[in-house]
A and B are shown apart, each in its own frame.
Chain A
Amino acid sequence: MIVHQLSVFLENKSGRLTEVLEALGSERIKITALSVADTSEFGILRMIVSDPAKAKELLKERSFTVNLTEVISIMAPNEAKYYAKVLRILSDLDLSIEYTYAFSVGEKSVIILRCSNTEEALKALKDHELDLLKASDLYKL
């Protein structure tokens, strides 16, 4: 299902990530997943958090460039072949994946991905009877 991911622009300098996490921590926001994409000058921090709207406000108040991005979350057994299956479904439809990351909980893994066409991707994944995670379920993990 569609999940709102928190995306934050970060300059590549020490202490910035800490400040983001401290800001979220001050309001007891939980983080389900986190990943950082970086270049030599800047990075983008991507997080699945318990209250995305509130998290966005908190960071905005502290002058971060922040946005909510729609991503897809899927639950599957934590074996490579299931991750491969997801990607194959999308590539067969010529849908490109802008980025993806995953984490596992016990025997299960959660795959987060951002796709060039979210609607079409969701439909295809549903047709293949993949277990699409609702936001409310994801935040509880």
Chain B
Amino acid sequence: MEIWNRHIECMDRQELRRIQGERLRETVERVYFNVPYYRNKMQESGLGPESIHTTDDLHRLPFTTKQDLRDNYPFGLFAVPMSEIVRVHASSGTTGKPTVVGYTRNDIATWSEVMARTLTCAGANRHDFIHVAYGYGLFTGGLGLHYGGEKIGASVIPVSGGNTIRQLQLLVDFGSTVLACTPSYALFLAEAIEDARIKRDDLKLRVGVFGAEPWTENMRREIEEKLRIKAIDIYGLSEVIGPGVASECLVQDGLHISEDQFYPEIIDPVTLEVLPEGKTGELVFTTITKEGLPLIRYRTRDLTTLRYEKCRCGRTLVRMEKCLGRSDDMLIIRGVNLFPSQVESVLLEMSEIKPHYLLIVDRVNNLDTLELQVEVDEEFFQDKISQLQTLRQKIQTNLESSLGLGIRVNLVEPKTLERSEGKSKRVIDKRKL
């Protein structure tokens, strides 16, 4: 099995720890002097750059959350002058404010490096054709895969998302060997291939790198059987860098984190205490080389476990388990992040309804579906069918334009939606993950 950066990926853990400590010290110093937000926060806790010597001191630093990014929208947490920023990406966020991330030239190089490791982990090399069906644009998926693919010298095909018929044609005609997309889209493509009566022998696909949404071992087996490829789980989030934060190798036993760049911790999401190896908790990252947007103890909200023993592939980098869920209420629908509060704020703006609603998420034919049940309000109810249908259409249109997600709206009788004390149940996720 090939390894892109054997020096780092198979490094003695003691040596790795020394490098991490050194890079952490540099990062803390940079954010202290360049990001007022971090300086204030550290001063409030009585900390200075000299307080942090090794990764053992990390727990003394405060956490960073998605809310902090929003509060400092758009560029408030950047640690370099804008003239040093060469790329900006953004992910969807609540009430229209996206989470914005910026990269310096070195950050783009780092990103390409970790994506090169990821693709090599999946067995890809310069002889491969990589079909990138992740979206290109503000979303980090497409360009992340793209740069990594070019870095290893493969032929990258930037197909982006959508237009399934063209996807199939290119897969056949170009003889792509590596497929990169979300796991649900991979299953969708597998069925489209079947429907189009394309013979498996007409495809040269060998491996797929799938991420950006949670998926199960069952889904993996289904993808592997239907497409007859090896399905590799990759992990990343734009705040940390994008795809490339961690990746499975061909052993498929946990995802190797590029911890020379992103230092992971597992915390108890309630007490915020750091948990020992093997315990399940929330994954927290400190970026230790990033220049544009360095983040200290960024809470990913993803729940997982870390394992430090050496992998059969030879890599010594720590492995995280497939993510088991989240410690907040964020949903990932067809790769788009959605908080129930976003739905609520759209409903609150409409005078005809009260924000009593229930979101039902399901997966039909391998695509996520979203249904919203809204209660009909007595004050607004007259007995005309057309009026109710207009209302339903209006809710649907308002939601789609502000969330960027197709949503099916159903009107329901009042008080059919459960009201529990304090917080009522707003989401039912029927997807079997």
Q: Which residue of chain A has its CB nearest to the CB of B378?
A: A65
Residue in A41, A44, A69, A114 whose beta carbon sits within 8 Å of that of B410 in the complex: A41
Known: A65-B378, A66-B378. A46 touches B383 (CB 8 A): yes
Q: Which residue of chain A has its CB nearest to the CB of B412?
A: A11
User: Is B378 in contact with A67, judged by CB distance below 8 angstroms?
Assistant: yes
Contact residues in A for B412 (Cβ distance below 8 Å): 11, 42
Residue in B377, B383, B414 whose beta carbon sits within 8 Å of that of A69 in the complex: B383
Q: Is A98 an interface residue (CB 8 A)?
A: yes
Task: Tell me, in angstroms, the Cα distance from A67 to B384 when the chains sit together.
Answer: 11
Q: Is A82 an interface residue (CB 8 A)?
A: no
Contact residues in B for A46 (Cβ distance below 8 Å): 383
Q: Which residue of chain B has its CB nearest to the CB of A5?
A: B383
Most chain-B CB neighbours within 10 Å: which of A11, A65, A114? A65
Q: Which residues of B405-430 have CB atoms within 8 Å of chain A's CB atoms?
A: 410-416
Q: How many A-B residue pairs have CB under 8 A?
A: 51
Known: A39-B389, A41-B410. A67 touches B416 (CB 8 A): no
User: Is B381 in contact with A64, judged by CB distance below 8 angstroms?
Assistant: no
Residue in A11, A44, A63 whose beta carbon sits within 8 Å of that of B383 in the complex: A44
Task: Tell me, in angstroms, the Cα distance from A9 to B415 when the chains sit together.
Answer: 13
Q: Is A7 an interface residue (CB 8 A)?
A: yes
Q: Is B364 an interface residue (CB 8 A)?
A: no
Q: Is A89 an interface residue (CB 8 A)?
A: no
Q: Is B376 an interface residue (CB 8 A)?
A: yes
Contact residues in A for B378 (Cβ distance below 8 Å): 60, 65-67
Q: Is A10 an interface residue (CB 8 A)?
A: yes
Q: How far is the CB of A12 from chain B (nearest CB, A)?
A: 10
Residue in A63, A67, A98 whose beta carbon sits within 8 Å of that of B381 in the complex: A67
Task: Report B's interface with A, CB cutoff 8 A.
Answer: 376-378, 381-385, 388-389, 410-416
Q: List 23 A-B contacts (CB under 8 A).
A: A7-B381, A7-B382, A7-B383, A9-B376, A9-B411, A9-B413, A11-B412, A11-B413, A41-B410, A41-B411, A42-B410, A42-B412, A44-B385, A46-B383, A65-B376, A65-B378, A65-B381, A65-B414, A66-B381, A67-B381, A69-B382, A98-B384, A114-B383
Excluding A44-B383, A66-B378, A114-B383, 16 further A-B contacts by CB distance (< 8 Å) are A5-B383, A7-B383, A9-B388, A9-B411, A10-B413, A41-B410, A42-B410, A44-B385, A46-B383, A60-B378, A63-B413, A64-B413, A65-B414, A66-B381, A67-B383, A98-B384
